[in-house]
Chains A and B, each alone.
Chain A
Amino acid sequence: MAKIELSFYPGCSSQKGATSSNYLVSAQTMCEELDIQLNEIPDWNCCGASIGYGGGGELPRLALSARNIALSEEHNSGQEIVATCAACWLSTREAKERLHEDEQMFKDANAALSEAGLKYKGEANVRHMVEVLVEDIGFDTIKSKVKKPLEGLKIAGYVGCQTNRPFGIAGESFENPQYLDKIVESVGAESIPGYEKKVQCCGGALAFSEPEKSQEMIKGIIEAAYDNGADMIVTPCPLCQANVEIYQDNINEAYGTKFNMPVVYYSTLMSVAFGRSAKEAALDGQVIPAKQLQEIADK
């Protein structure tokens, strides 16, 4: 398989000591195994995420992503931009589309960028890592790389919102996407295609500002995983992962539940199944330990 080179936009939450630093570690391990080379966009900035709009408005928000795209076009010329974070991907792709559709906005964004000595062309493709997995790598190749099948594990595929809407993955429905279940199957675990909360919102950024409202939704996401007999939840989104994992104590306190459900990334599953160590799969980054994965990794 030829090496795939991508212009990589890691995003704030993946940085060292940040909430999804474990996502980055496992994604890097996964990419090594799949012969994907990640060329980080030099000096990238925050995309504004899904909540920056309230302070940033439209053009300043779009300028953030335009700067990242411009940097990528300058330094990683000819490479597709890929993000592992749902909000990073969404913001970057949304900015690209808006600047493409709106000529004035394109001019205004470039006027702002010229202050930083940059120029936005808008030629680079913007993709999410799971698109690369599904469309370029393929489930069969993923399957062929498995050294330690995750046998006996039942895993609920929680796609969440922003990896799924408004852009989604080509060929998948917004309401019942299947690709995460197929990834689960590819690494030898049992999927739950009928997991009814697979595209339920976790509250996103409102988990911080409206914790009660968000935790009520998170409770439903975890409860449905238990109802379906899941051993753990897998997700492609850093905010989904954090929200569903780290508030389980709070939810248990508020609702009298006894949740203790591990929530991992697809890249965690793949790193373990590909035979890499627990550390390389970033299992030490779990707040709720994924003991069954740990055992397979230690075998």
Chain B
Amino acid sequence: MSDLNTAMIEKYRSSFLKEVEANVEEGEWVKMCMQCGVCSGSCPLGKHWDHPPQEIFMMIRANKRDEVLSTDSMWMCTSCYNCISRCPRGLPITHIMHGLAVYSKRLGLTQKQQPTAQFSQIFWDNLMKKGRVNELKLGLSIYFKDGFGQGVKNAMANQKLGQNMMKAKRMNAMEFFSGHSVKDLSGFQKMVKKAQEIEAGNIKDFK
């Protein structure tokens, strides 16, 4: 358990809702949920959520902090925005789910092997290197995320797909060595670093 998590438990022992409102993207909307369940019924991966969004909203209000922050339900969100467009009260549910996922990860409570959490970080790290995504390296990072042996197996299993994409010129082996980049990479990286510092600082304010 991370220090930040311990600190947050101390601070918000009595109210997980307040913690969510303070530290989760769009968290101030949670109290507006009227428990109609349209979001849960609209989710394309709904059957794979241990706790669908409607349930998560109620669990937050019922102070079920551990259960909410340790479930991997939020990582089932495909960002299809069905829930947002259908919610009678206009809750930005997609963003709240993303926010909860990020907060759980920040506190060190996300399961290490959660595939979408892993992919999300791989994607972000990939785009941070050059300011633009290097699709070839992204694909390879996913194949090899569980080690070299599994990586070779994954690459072999998807060999035909890769060949098809190369043939259509929609995948380029040269991306491994160079690849696309923003020109002002240093400015880009400084900007992101600053944004990360500000965001981390905003969380500390509520300790």
Binding site for B on A (CB under 8 A): 12-13, 15-22, 43-46, 48-60, 62-64, 67, 108-109, 111-113, 115-118, 161-162, 165-166, 168, 174, 200-201, 203-206, 208-210, 213-214, 217, 242, 246-247, 249-250, 284-287
Chain A's nearest CB lies how many Å from the CB of B24?
9
**When the two chains form their complex, are residues B124 and A52 in contact, meaning their CB atoms are under 8 A apart?**
yes
**When the two chains form their complex, are residues A45 and B132 in contact, meaning their CB atoms are under 8 A apart?**
yes
Besides the known contacts A44-B182, A287-B164, 16 further A-B residue pairs in the complex with CB atoms under 8 A apart: A17-B174, A43-B184, A52-B124, A54-B117, A59-B199, A60-B196, A63-B192, A64-B192, A161-B82, A162-B81, A165-B81, A165-B82, A203-B45, A204-B80, A206-B116, A287-B167
Among B1-9, B54-62, B95-103, the one that faces the other chain is: B95-103
**When the two chains form their complex, are residues A112 and B195 in contact, meaning their CB atoms are under 8 A apart?**
yes
**When the two chains form their complex, are residues B123 and A49 in contact, meaning their CB atoms are under 8 A apart?**
yes
**Which residues of chain B are within 8 angstroms of A44 by Cβ–Cβ distance?**
182
Chain B's nearest CB lies how many Å from the CB of A13?
7
**Which residues of chain B are within 8 angstroms of A285 by Cβ–Cβ distance?**
168-170
Chain B's nearest CB lies how many Å from the CB of A263?
12
Q: B175 near A: Cβ within 8 Å? A: yes
**When the two chains form their complex, are residues A48 and B192 in contact, meaning their CB atoms are under 8 A apart?**
no
**When the two chains form their complex, are residues A201 and B44 in contact, meaning their CB atoms are under 8 A apart?**
yes
Q: List 30 A-B contacts (CB under 8 A).
A: A12-B133, A16-B172, A16-B180, A17-B172, A19-B171, A22-B169, A43-B184, A45-B132, A45-B182, A46-B127, A48-B127, A50-B79, A52-B120, A52-B124, A54-B105, A54-B124, A55-B124, A108-B198, A108-B199, A112-B195, A116-B191, A117-B187, A161-B78, A161-B80, A165-B84, A166-B84, A201-B82, A205-B123, A206-B78, A284-B169
Number of B positions contacting A (CB below 8 A): 66
- The listed residue (B98, B170, B187) touching A54 by CB distance below 8 A is B98
**When the two chains form their complex, are residues A52 and B191 in contact, meaning their CB atoms are under 8 A apart?**
no
**When the two chains form their complex, are residues B172 and A208 in contact, meaning their CB atoms are under 8 A apart?**
no
Residue of A nearest to B131 (CB): A45
**Which residues of chain B are within 8 angstroms of A115 by Cβ–Cβ distance?**
187, 190-191, 193-194
**When the two chains form their complex, are residues A112 and B25 in contact, meaning their CB atoms are under 8 A apart?**
no
- The listed residue (B116, B133, B165, B191) touching A46 by CB distance below 8 A is B133
**When the two chains form their complex, are residues A55 and B120 in contact, meaning their CB atoms are under 8 A apart?**
yes
Chain A's nearest CB lies how many Å from the CB of B42?
10
Quick one: CB contact mask for B105-141 with A, threshold 8 Å, 1 for yes? 1100000000111111111110100011101000000
Highest count of chain B CB atoms <10 Å: which of A16, A112, A287: A112
Chain B's nearest CB lies how many Å from the CB of A130?
16
- The listed residue (B170, B187, B188) touching A22 by CB distance below 8 A is B170
**Which residues of chain A are within 8 angstroms of B70 by Cβ–Cβ distance?**
none
Residue of A nearest to B84 (CB): A166
Cα distance A113–B202 in the bound complex, in angstroms: 18
Cα distance A112–B75 in the bound complex, in angstroms: 28
Q: B36 near A: Cβ within 8 Å? A: no
**When the two chains form their complex, are residues A20 and B170 in contact, meaning their CB atoms are under 8 A apart?**
yes
Quick one: CB contact mask for B10-49 with A, threshold 8 Å, 1 for yes? 0000000000000001000000000000000000110010
**When the two chains form their complex, are residues B120 and A166 in contact, meaning their CB atoms are under 8 A apart?**
no
**Which residues of chain B are within 8 angstroms of A48 by Cβ–Cβ distance?**
124, 127
**Which residues of chain B are within 8 angstroms of A118 by Cβ–Cβ distance?**
187, 191
**Which residues of chain A are within 8 angstroms of B180 by Cβ–Cβ distance?**
12, 15-16, 18
Residue of A nearest to B183 (CB): A43
- The listed residue (A15, A58, A117) touching B99 by CB distance below 8 A is A58
**When the two chains form their complex, are residues A18 and B135 in contact, meaning their CB atoms are under 8 A apart?**
yes
**When the two chains form their complex, are residues B191 and A209 in contact, meaning their CB atoms are under 8 A apart?**
no
Q: B85 near A: Cβ within 8 Å? A: yes
Highest count of chain B CB atoms <10 Å: which of A16, A57, A284: A57
**When the two chains form their complex, are residues A287 and B81 in contact, meaning their CB atoms are under 8 A apart?**
no
